Chains A and B, each alone.
Chain A
Amino acid sequence: SAVISQKPSRDICQRGTSLTIQCQVDSQVTMMFWYRQQPGQSLTLIATANQGSEATYESGFVIDKFPISRPNLTFSTLTVSNMSPEDSSIYLCSVEEPGELFFGEGSRLTVL
């Protein structure tokens, strides 16, 4: 199974700032996914990131707020822009390999 590393593992940020989360996979994968887990909630898909194309965003999520990069088959970044306390969540990167989903350890973000 793929090994997925996320940075940072946690951070405390000020309102109005932006934070970029990195996701590194130890093998080449076609599809990478970014999820959000708000406190006490289950996971919600933010977007699907394929290498060489624009990310596909789910309803309720927009590129201006959550820009995503996918420069190669092993790496992706998610930026949470102009943060507010409502953005306090765990952000998780995942990959499909094949038919089974694997997750990173998550990035726990607290916005003050």
Chain B
Amino acid sequence: KQEVTQIPAALSVPEGENLVLNCSFTDSAIYNLQWFRQDPGKGLTSLLLIQSSQREQTSGRLNASLDKSSGRSTLYIAASQPGDSATYLCAAVKAAGNKLTFGGGTRVLVKP
């Protein structure tokens, strides 16, 4: 059974610092891994999707890497801004059409 873990559960950084968010999963046989952002009381916004054959994906200040052999994905957010304050969740899926297994999320606070 896939288990997804995100450590730390919470993170506070000063504005301008780079953010590094970790996601680990126990079963390396994944189809893809997806990173989401969630603002308080809201739904999830998809940030990046990494297919199992890919090593990384980039979108603007965001970069996500995937290392299946070690069961890890990392989300990097460059030059953090107060607007980046949110909870970030990663989720792994075993095969197309299968359910996602979510991590517990990392709550990020970027202080001005």
Contact = CB atoms under 8 A, between A and B. Distances in A.
Given A43-B102, A99-B32, A90 B51 contact: no
Contacts of B100: 43, 45, 101
B41 A45 contact: no
A32 B92 CA distance: 17
Interface string A82-112: 0000000010101010111111111010000
A48 B93 CA distance: 14
A10 B36 CA distance: 21
Given A42-B89, A43-B89, A99-B31, A104 B99 contact: no
Nearest to B6: A42
Interface of B: 31-32, 34, 36, 41-46, 49, 51, 89, 91, 93, 96-97, 99-100, 102-105
A55 interface: no
A103 B97 contact: no
Contact of B41 (A43, A90, A102): A90
Interface residues of A, number: 26
A97 to B, nearest CB: 10
Interface of A: 1, 4, 6, 10, 31, 33, 41-43, 45, 48, 58, 90, 92, 94, 96, 98-106, 108
Contact of A99 (B49, B89, B91): B49
A99 B44 contact: no
Given A42-B102, A101-B100, A92 B89 contact: no
Contacts of A94: 44
24 contacts: A1-B46, A10-B41, A41-B104, A42-B89, A42-B102, A42-B105, A43-B91, A45-B100, A92-B44, A96-B96, A96-B97, A98-B96, A99-B32, A99-B49, A99-B51, A99-B93, A100-B34, A100-B46, A101-B46, A101-B91, A103-B44, A106-B41, A106-B42, A108-B41
Contacts of B96: 96, 98-99
A52 B84 CA distance: 41
Contacts of A100: 32, 34, 46, 49
